[in-house]
Structure 1
């Protein structure tokens, strides 16, 4: 009973989609700035969730026909931070998500079906950042979710 009340209370405090930062309404320059700020402020729990999702998706397992990272796993945190901080491209996804992409050519980041992939993509959910704080998001950066990261072309 107490758990149900706690969960209900947390849901009331969470920004509703109507008040959440909508990436589809932001210019790429703003999304770049948000990614750069997040690269510098993300906490260890945010990164742990990301790597858990990456592991669950199977991107850390070398498989000849599936998408996977081929760089040493110890390099991935640095590459991911660089991707957020200095993305070559940012693309809004759905309402509150954005995909950050950085090309590391000639370095091969991963493979899919034997094809070398030189870029890293990282997906962030900005739902926890209230729309009104898009220009001053610092207090909310630790609530943004690092959802996924994978080699891309």
Structure 2
């Protein structure tokens, strides 16, 4: 089954869109383009992938990497895209498993009452995720197979 079809179906279900014609209007694409995405003849552009992911609560980086891997003809690049998809999934999982502590949120709300505190509460998680991504990219450049989350 086409990865684009899976994403498109999730997005259409989330948005309660009954037909490809309705979905095409929302995305500003032709219904033929969406049919080609569903059948695997064409890949959605990255902006459309990001929009669909944002609107249905999916991780855009993961879906972009999976779709690029699916349509890549060079096997080396396909492996790179698949590794990036794995890292995106790992980062999403790692960020999701560490919810912000209530005391931290309360402290930040008291100090920054005019600014949403969730940004500050999640900053540490994002820095850790960025460090993991940097380690992964270094391992790609140097050809090692280390897992950046187990360092």
Structure 1-normalised TM-score? 0.24
More helix by share: 2
- Please identify the structure whose Cα radius of gyration is greater: 2
More strand by share: 1
Structure 2-normalised TM-score? 0.24
